[in-house]
Structure 1
Amino acid sequence: MDRTIVRTVEKNRFASAAAIAATVSAETGAKISESTIRSRIHDAGFHGRSARKKPFLSAVHRRKRMVYATKWKNMDPEDWENVLFSDEASVELNGTTGKISVWRRANEAFNKKCTVPTFKSSRKTLMVWSSISHKGVGTMHFCESSVSGAYYRSMLSDEIPLTRELLQLPTPTRFVQDGAPAHRAKATSAYLKELKLESMGHPPQSPDLNPIENLWGIMKAELHKTPATDLDDLREKLAMIWYKIPVGIVQKLIYSMPARLEAVRKEKGGCTRW
């Protein structure tokens, strides 16, 4: 019976104890309780945990991640110090965590059987843009409309000079941005050259290859402690949290880039722990 229980869990890590009990009872003809199921599952090394959410990766995504991880594999941690990592983040007023439970063993937090794929969403409340380098966080910009190519270029014209001065960046500056349509536009590529920003490219569905994503998580976790009452309050709280992020945290994340790229290569383009 224990083998049947383990096989059932292996087939569906997200099944409830009640569902597993019903399946095992149907297969074996023996009546088994939920408490017994939980006990046997725990004995087999599985425990109920919140499933980690990771972007869905197709075969094409994995190949592009491998190309990127190979292209920049010879950069040392110090080489990443003057890279400017940028990104937009969508922040919801009174957002929720949306946790999902999964059965997994101690070393399976990022096993694809135990993670929940995430997809791009059109749902937005407040869009913010910022950047980071070894010197800390850059300026924060609150997007007042949808981010078209024209809007994005106008924003960069305002924010990049300020950020470059704030973070004491060299000119030209290596620049990381994702593949959003506004970023990929030909006019934007030309404008990056005018701003002396050297795009390093970025594979799709790869937040783990941009350390600013971890800071968005820190920012949202802090916001959750004292939720905003309205959008104006949300802007104020986000800015306050962002500019208080310690430089040491930013540096630790940036210095992790070689390890991130190595993890992508090890997983053959698959998900990593970041």
Structure 2
Amino acid sequence: MPQHLTEAQKSWAIAKLEENRSLSEVAAELNVSKSCIFYVKKRWQEQQRLRRPLRQGVGKVSNENEDNALVEYIRQNPFATAVKAREQALFPGSLRVAQMRLKQSGLKNWAAARKVFLTAEHKHRRVQFANEFLIHGEEFWNNVVFSDEKTFQSCNSGRLRVYRPRNTRFEENYTLTSTSGRFSVNVWAWISVNGPGMCYQIDGRLTAEHYINILDNVMLPSVTEVFPDNFTFQHLLNPSLITAVKSLLFLPP
């Protein structure tokens, strides 16, 4: 039996009730329950309205200052959790509300990136390299082999997360430079326009002697399989390793 009446039906019901028709009679005419007509009559008598009042939403649990304090704490401590930020900023809302406020401010929780920050010397050398080889075309770069080392580590606490705006993944405030892991694996690898090449696990620390051994016994055999005629090997080493390699090869510093 339908229990929802239009305003026209409610007006008709009120008019019939004022003509001393009974609740049962009006309900039967409209094919609704007696209680439905009873509440229509009650609302009209008490509030002089036919519609139900609109439901009022729950008021905002925090004011602008409290929201700003929460957001500012995270901006100053991007690696803090929402739980910690809520406690330190004395935010009155629930954890879910705190997370919503942070998201509304443009701060989203991401897995933190790891990178080694560049010193002024690193940046100078990279710009110098770019300017030096800027004139070379595609034919030259198609025969260039790049290589680098990488340390993979496991973390006791799992991957750390950070609150940051979009497109700021590698900004210094939001990245990690080191970690204390359960174990670490050092690898050396090269890559070219043809795709990834040899990936070699390094036992222990990468010393000058170890690096020369990699060049002779890993890099050259694997690279010449792809570039049998000619290739250019490029690697920007740190200054201390360059000096050590040159001394072993009896080259001038």
- For this structure pair, what is the TM-score category when the shorter chain's length is used for normalisation? 0.5 to 0.7
Q: Among 23, 34, 38, which residue is 2:99 paired with?
A: 38
- In structure 2, the residue corresponding to 1:118 is in which secondary structure? coil
1:158-209 deviation per Cα after TM superposition (whole angstroms, max 9, x unaligned):
3344234201254463432532744442145668xxxxxxxxxxxxxxxxxx
Cα gap change, 1:164 to 1:108, in 2 (>3 Å): closer
Counterpart-to-counterpart distance in 2, 1:130 and 1:139: 6
Which letter does structure 2 place at the counterpart of 1:178? L
Aligned pair 1:103/2:163, yes or no?
Answer: yes
Aligned length: 184
- In structure 1, the residue corresponding to 2:191 is in which secondary structure? strand
Cα gap change, 1:47 to 1:188, in 2 (>3 Å): same
Counterpart-to-counterpart distance in 1, 2:140 and 2:231: 14
1:96-155 deviation per Cα after TM superposition (whole angstroms, max 9, x unaligned):
594211112222223332222238x99975544332323344445454565433343234
Q: Could you tell me whether the CA contact under 8 Å between 2:117 and 2:172 is conserved in 1?
A: no
1:53-101 deviation per Cα after TM superposition (whole angstroms, max 9, x unaligned):
1213344443444333443344445432211212334456xx4594211
Alignment of 1:39-118 (within 5 A): 39-90=100-151, 95=154, 98-118=158-178
Q: Could you tell me whether the CA contact under 8 Å between 1:49 and 1:103 is conserved in 2?
A: yes
Which letter does structure 2 place at the counterpart of 1:17? A
Give the TM-score taking structure 1 as reference length: 0.53
Counterpart-to-counterpart distance in 2, 1:122 and 1:36: 34
Counterpart-to-counterpart distance in 2, 1:145 and 1:39: 46
Counterpart-to-counterpart distance in 2, 1:168 and 1:37: 57
Give the TM-score taking structure 2 as reference length: 0.56
In structure 1, list runs of 5 or more residues that go unmatched: 192-274
- In structure 1, the residue corresponding to 2:128 is in which secondary structure? helix
Taking only aligned residues, the RMSD between alpha carbons, in angstroms, comes to: 3.6
Cα gap change, 1:147 to 1:122, in 2 (>3 Å): farther
Which letter does structure 2 place at the counterpart of 1:129? W
Cα gap change, 1:83 to 1:123, in 2 (>3 Å): farther
Alignment of 1:212-223 (within 5 A): none
Q: Which residue of 2 aligns with 1:12?
A: 77
In structure 2, list runs of 5 or more residues that go unmatched: 1-64
Cα gap change, 1:12 to 1:70, in 2 (>3 Å): farther
Cα gap change, 1:55 to 1:36, in 2 (>3 Å): same
Counterpart-to-counterpart distance in 2, 1:10 and 1:115: 14
Cα gap change, 1:99 to 1:77, in 2 (>3 Å): farther
- In structure 1, the residue corresponding to 2:234 is in which secondary structure? strand
Counterpart-to-counterpart distance in 2, 1:148 and 1:17: 43
Q: Could you tell me whether the CA contact under 8 Å between 2:155 and 2:181 is conserved in 1?
A: no
Q: Could you tell me whether the CA contact under 8 Å between 1:83 and 1:173 is conserved in 2?
A: yes
CA displacement at 1:3 relative to structure 2: 2.8
Higher relative contact order (CA 8 A, sep 6+): 1
Identity %: 23
Cα gap change, 1:99 to 1:122, in 2 (>3 Å): closer
Aligned pair 1:186/2:246, yes or no?
Answer: yes
Q: Which residue of 2 aligns with 1:135?
A: 194
Q: Could you tell me whether the CA contact under 8 Å between 2:151 and 2:185 is conserved in 1?
A: yes
Q: Could you tell me whether the CA contact under 8 Å between 2:74 and 2:80 is conserved in 1?
A: yes
1:23-76 deviation per Cα after TM superposition (whole angstroms, max 9, x unaligned):
332xxxx73433322121111122111111121334444344433344334444
Aligned pair 1:157/2:222, yes or no?
Answer: no
Cα gap change, 1:73 to 1:96, in 2 (>3 Å): farther
